[in-house]
Amino acid sequence: MSFLQLHGLTKKFADTTAVDNLSLDVAKGEFVSLLGPSGCGKTTTLQMIAGFVDVTAGSIILDGKDITFAKPNERGLGIVFQTYALFPHMTVEKNVAFGLEMRKLSGSDIAKRVKDALAMAQLEKFAQRYPRELSGGQRQRVALARALVIQPPVLLLDEPLSNLDANLREEMQFELRRIQQQAGTTTIMVTHDQAEALSVSDRVVVMREGKVIQIDEPYVMYENPATPFISRFVGKTNTFAVTLTATEQGRQFDLDGHRITLKNESDIAPNAGTCEALMSLRPEKIEIGRQGQGRFAGSIKNSFFLGNLWMYEVQTTFGLLIVSVINNHQQVYKIGENVSLDWHENALKVLAGEPAGDL
């Protein structure tokens, strides 16, 4: 059952439509990320939910109550901003207690709830420190504790990890998910970071130019992108154009002298004849080997060592492919070396919804 419902949400600024007829149902306790490039409307959507931006059209229903035109302070939502917005002159304990004090709770209630929030965020030993004495990850946890201590019906996160360095950001993804699950709070997060959205979310909403392009569980979206844009934006992928032909064995196409039969055809529109199609093939789905081991020939044009992975650019007769290989001390290929490539037919996905040139 939906706890937060966005129906036909639209926001126009003069002649510009920032959010266009967005609808989304969020279950109680669910973690949903709004993902998209800059200017896609995700932050405007969050601001409309928070009440910071007026709604042009549509409605926002929270637990059965229409809050579309309610003031921000009447909505009771918890918000964590990109900059954390902590009070520099207050200790961690005072920062976390601030919202409760504004709500005129008793001293004993405030003390208990602040203690519980600090424990949940693993901040007990930092209670008397000031924000300037904390690391970026610790400040982020203070902001989360302050937002959650008021026990909001919905937690809104606006790019909460963007100011952290890469290693800390990855660590805090796990912390963010742990704290959210422990609190059980319905959460909407805005992010432009695909890995961040995939790792912490129950569902991901991809937006582009104010519109929702796809809503799915992270794994489903990654494995079955609805459009070429999503295949490129949510993770890395290789794409190449083919001509599909209907046969008794299924949809087939020729590639580098080999006849390929598709195993996943649910999204292929035409049922007969031929059609042009764009194929998607994730780098980690490709097997690389010595020359002659696989069906497809190629040569190494470039290599990138990423610690846990090797990334190779491999030139083939049907284009330049990116191949990722786990670094497990097996074969390392040199630039200019001839190699072979192969993959299971289930790895190939047919993309629809946008022309190849959109990539």
Per-residue pLDDT of the chain (359 residues), as tens digits, is: 799 999 999 999 999 999 999 999 999 999 999 999 999 999 999 999 999 999 999 999 999 999 999 999 999 999 998 888 899 999 999 999 999 999 999 999 999 999 999 999 999 999 999 999 999 889 999 999 999 999 999 999 999 888 888 888 888 899 899 999 999 999 999 999 999 999 999 999 999 999 999 999 999 999 999 899 999 999 999 999 999 888 887 888 999 889 988 876 554 444 557 888 899 999 999 999 999 999 999 999 999 999 999 999 999 999 999 999 999 877 899 999 999 999 998 899 988 655 444 44
pLDDT computed for residue 161 by the predictor? 87
What fold characterizes domain 2-228?
A: Rossmann fold (3.40.50)
The reported pTM is: 0.89
State which amino acid sits at residue 33. S
3-state DSSP of the chain: CEEEEEEEEEEEECCEEEEEEEEEEEECCCEEEEECCCCCCHHHHHHHHHCCCCCCEEEEEECCEECCCCCHHHHCCEEECCCCCCCCCCCHHHHHHHHHHHCCCCHHHHHHHHHHHHHHCCCHHHCCCCHHHCCHHHHHHHHHHHHHCCCCCEEEEECCCCCCCHHHHHHHHHHHHHHHHHHCCEEEEEECCHHHHHHHCCEEEEEECCEEEEEECHHHHHHCCCCHHHHHHCCCCEEEEEEEEEECCEEEEEECCEEEECCCCCCCCCCCCEEEEEEEECHHHCEEEECCCCCEEEEEEEEEECCCEEEEEEEECCEEEEEEEECCCCCCCCCCCEEEEECCHHHCEEECCCCHHHC
**pLDDT computed for residue 358 by the predictor:** 47
CB 186 within 8 A of CB 3: yes
Residue 19 contacts residue 45 (beta carbons within 8 Å): yes
Sign of CA dihedral 120, 122, 128, 130: negative
Q: What is the pLDDT of residues 208-245, one digit of tens each?
A: 999 999 999 999 999 999 899 999 999 999 999 999 88
CB 31 within 8 A of CB 177: yes
Which fold, 233-358? OB fold (Dihydrolipoamide Acetyltransferase, E2P) (2.40.50)
Q: Do domains 2-228 and 233-358 have the same CATH topology?
A: no
Residue extents of the structural domains in the chain? 2-228, 233-358
Beta bridge partners of residue 23, listed in sequence order? none
